[in-house]
Structure 1
Amino acid sequence: MESVRLSAWQFHLLTQIYVIGTAFILLPGPIIASAKQYGWIVVIWATLYGLVLAFGYSYLAKLYPGKTLIEIALQAFGKWAGGLVSLLYIVFFIQLASWVTRNLGDFMHINLMPRTPISVFHFMILLFAAYAVSKGIESIALMNELLVPFLYLAFWVPVVIMLREWNWHYFNFAYPFQISNAVIQTRYVLAFPFMETVAFLMIIPFVQRKVNFAFITGITIAGVMLAACVFISIGVLGVYRGQHLVYPIFSMFREMRFTGFIEHLEAILSVNIVLVVCIKLCILFYCAVSGVCQLFKIERRYTVIYPMVWVISAYSLLFMNIVENLDWIKKYLFEYYSLFAVAFPVLFIVVAKWRNNDQRMKKDGSA
């Protein structure tokens, strides 16, 4: 394992940006379509679910101190079964990285450069991520720490000014709403982005101290920000417009004007989106590369990084368009993520508790 150390503050910021990631541009529209003016409440209870997962992952990390997710699987299930589970997690990280790549590629292709082939965006993004991963997780954390103040200022200052277009009447329309149907239809919010935090089990061993506090507060703040994005989208755009837009936040920035000569603020948001999504991609790319190196005992990351660019780029072209991508997210994402984010971690905890009890009984018997 790498001899690097992350501070609790760096880990906290990584968690925030990772959870916000592509969620703040992709989630508001589908959530408003499913839960209408109550969409922001859906994000809040999804955040509570994410905190439960965070407590579980923190507890799992305590049961296997100093072990990454790949090493936990090998220790819990042995060489062969653990190796198979580790391989599944590596494929899972590659899938996440490819979906993040595709989401950013779709955004840039649809809104910025529609005549440019989407594969061009993919290669540009992945080459940047490959270089960042070659420098290690510590460099990624330092880059993230440097960018966060700019990212938040460039996003929230225009959003606050945008509140002058606020209309409380958008929350009073009598749209048909049933809480049971809304919970079922929005279960994908539990998976994306909160179940994806299982990837941080690959990074937690590098954090020096206060890892639990940094992890939990990072998810909490990111969840509040996502709820605020949905809430503001409803208050500014309304339910009807919000649910029919693919990128509601981007549309708000595009239509907003500070003065007669300050326009096209969507350019600022575009830079924000590219940077935030690239940081999330770097984290997932690093988890996939690190997993391969740990499973197959590869000392040089370079031998894995650049072939991984081609794998992720090819996998990112699995969906035909963003509509097909969003449809898959709504129908299957929660069930698919549950295997990696819930089922396997629970099994790891059960195995660790069973072995600890068995060792305790042996000590008591020998005494």
Structure 2
Amino acid sequence: MENARLSGWQMITLTFTFVCATTFLMLPGKLMEDAKQYSWIVCVWSFLYGLVLAGFWLYLSKLYPGKSLVQIAIQVLGKWAGGLIAILYILYFIQIASWVTRNLSDFMHNNLMPRTPLSIFNVVMLLVCAYAVVKGIESIAMVSELVTPYIIVAFWIPFTVMLKDWDLRTFHVPFDFHLWTTVLHTKYALAFPFMETIMFMMLFPFVKSRLKTAFFLGISSAGVVLSICVYMTIGILGVDRGSHLIYPVYTIFREMQFSGFLEHLEAILSINILLLLCLKLSLLFYCAVLGLCQLFKIERRDIVAFPLVWIISAYSLLFANVIENIEWIENYLFSYYMLFALIVPTILIIGSWLQTLYKIQRRDKPA
């Protein structure tokens, strides 16, 4: 395993950028369609759910300090069963990486460069991320540490300019709020992005201090920022209009004006999206490569990273378009993520308890 060290602050920025990346791009419009003016409340209970999951994974990690998720699976379940679980998690990271790749290439193709084929975006971004993976997690963390303040400032200062168009009457849409029905219709918000953060169990061994505080702060700060963003988007665009847009936040930036000559501020948001999604993609890519290296005892990351570029790029083209992607998220994502975020970690914790009980029984057994 790479001999790297991450500080608590780096863990916060990595978690923050990971949670925010595709969420700002894909989630607000769909939430406004399903939960109307209450979609910001869905964001609140989603990140609270994410904090509960974070505590669950931190407990599992505490049982096996210094070990990644792949190593824990092998130690608990053995070489063959644990190896199978490890392969499933590696495929899980590759799958999410392919979806992130497709989200970014769809955004670039639909809004900025419509004549450029999706495969060109995929390969260029993945080659950059593969280079970051080869350089190591410390390099990715330093980039995250550097760009996070810029992303926050460049997003929120222009966004607050649009408060002049914010209207409280947009929250008075005649829509009855039924808690359980809303939870069922928006359960994908629990999975995306908070169930994806189990990926950080691959990085826990690198954090030498304040791991719990950093992980909780990263998730909670991203959740609060997302809730505020959705709340402001409802007030600016309105529920009816916002729910019919694929990228409502991008529309806000495209329409805002500081003055008569300062326009097209969506370029700022495009840069932010590019930075955030490349960081998230680099993290997923790195965890997939790290898992393969740990499972098969491979010393060099480059011989794993660059072939994965073509696999992830090809996998990202399975969806016909962004609408099909959103429909899959709505209908199947929560159930699919449950296996990796809850069911398998529960099995690993129970297996750890059984191992401990067996050792105690053997120790207490008379000779």
- TM-score where L is the length of structure 2: 0.98
Deviation at 1:239?
0.3
- What CA distance in whole angstroms lies between the structure 2 residues aligned with 1:232 and 1:120? 35
2:266 aligns to what? Answer: 266
**Runs of 4+ that moved beyond 4 A:** none
* Structure 2 Cα separation of the partners of residues 87 and 173 of structure 1: 47
Q: Over residues 343-362 of structure 1, what are the superposed CA-to-partner deviations in whole Å (9 max), with x where a residue is unaligned?
A: 01111111111212222333
| Distance across 2 between alignment mates of 1:201 and 1:300 | 21
| Alpha-carbon distance between aligned partners in 1 of 2:338 and 2:49, rounded to the nearest angstrom | 12
CA distance 1:366–1:24, change in 2 (3 Å): farther
Amino acid at match of 1:357: L
Residue 330 (structure 2) pairs with residue 330 (structure 1): yes
Residue in 1 that maps onto 2:205: 205
Deviation at 1:147, TM superposition (A): 0.7
Are positions 1:5 and 2:5 aligned together?
A: yes
* Residues 233 and 248 in structure 1, CA contact (< 8 A), matched pair in contact too: yes
Per-residue deviation, residues 305-362 of structure 1 (Å, max 9, x unmatched): 1100000000000100000000000000000000001101111111111212222333
2:49 corresponds to 1:49: yes
**CA–CA distance in 1 between the matches of 2:362 and 2:296?**
34
Aligned pairs for 1:301-316 (under 5 A) are 301-316=301-316
Q: Does 1:276 align with 2:276?
A: yes
Cα deviations by residue, 1:257-283 (Å, 9 ceiling, x for unpaired): 001111000000000000000000000
Amino acid at match of 1:10: Q
For residue 192 of structure 2, give the secondary structure of its aligned residue in structure 1. helix
Equivalence for 2:17: 17
The residue aligned with 1:142 is: 142
Cα distance in structure 2, aligned partners of 1:324 and 1:90: 24
**Matched residues in 1 for 2:18 and 2:27: separation?**
14
Partner residue of 1:356? 356
Aligned to 2:231: 231
Task: For structure 2, list consecutive stretches of 5 or more residues without a partner in the other structure.
Answer: none
Q: How many residues align?
A: 367
Residue in 1 aligned with 2:39? 39
Cα distance in 1 between the residues matched to 2:342 and 2:30 = 24
One-letter amino acid of the counterpart of residue 109, structure 1: H
**Secondary structure at the residue paired with 1:244?**
coil
Identity of aligned residues (%): 56
2:364 & 2:44 partners in 1: Cα distance? Answer: 47
Q: Give the corresponding residue for 2:128.
A: 128
Q: In 2, Cα distance between the equivalents of 1:365 and 1:321?
A: 62
- Output the CA distance in 2 between the equivalents of 1:213 and 1:103: 30
Contact in 2 for aligned 1:43/1:227 (Cα 8 Å): yes
Please state how far the C-alpha of 1:176 moved relative to its aligned partner. Answer: 4.2
The Cα offsets for residues 214-272 of structure 1, whole Å up to 9 and x where unpaired, read as 00111000011111111111010000001000000000000000011110000000000
Distance 2:319 2:279 in 1: 22
Change in 2 beyond 3 A, CA 1:366/1:11? farther
**Counterparts of 1:188 and 1:238 in 2: how far apart (Å)?**
22
Q: Distance in 2 between matches of 1:323 and 1:74?
A: 38
TM-score w.r.t. the length of structure 1 is 0.98
The residue type paired with residue 45 of structure 2 is W
Distance 1:336 1:11 in 2: 26
Letter in 2 for 1:214: A
Aligned to 2:247: 247
Q: Is the 8 A contact 1:130 1:285 kept in 2?
A: yes
How far does the alpha carbon of each residue in 1:169-219 deviate from its partner, in whole angstroms, 9 at most, with x for none?
Answer: 001121244322211110001110000001000000000111011001110
CA displacement at 1:366 relative to structure 2: 5.2
Whether 1:28 aligns to 2:34 is: no
Question: Which residue number corresponds to residue 79 of structure 2?
Answer: 79
CA positional deviation for 1:21: 1.1
Displacement of 1:363: 3.0
Q: Which residue of 2 aligns with 1:194?
A: 194
For residues 165-184 of structure 1, the aligned pairs below 5 Å read 165-184=165-184
Aligned-pair Cα RMSD in Å: 1.0
Asked whether the equivalents of residues 188 and 330 of structure 1 are also in contact (C-alpha less than 8 Å), the reply is yes
**What letter corresponds to residue 32 of structure 2 in structure 1?**
I
Greater mean deviation of Cα atoms: 156-165 or 238-247: 156-165
Corresponding position of 2:69: 69
Which residue in 2 is equivalent to 1:257?
A: 257
Q: What CA deviation, in whole Å up to 9, does each residue of 1:36-89 have, x standing for no partner?
A: 000000010011110010001110110011111110110011011111111111
Give the AA of the match of 1:352. S
Q: Distance in 2 between matches of 1:45 and 1:224?
A: 10
Q: State the match for 2:152 in structure 1.
A: 152
Residue 292 of structure 2 is aligned to residue 289 of structure 1: no
Q: Deviations over 1:91-139 (max 9, x none)?
A: 1000000000000000000110111111111111101101100100010
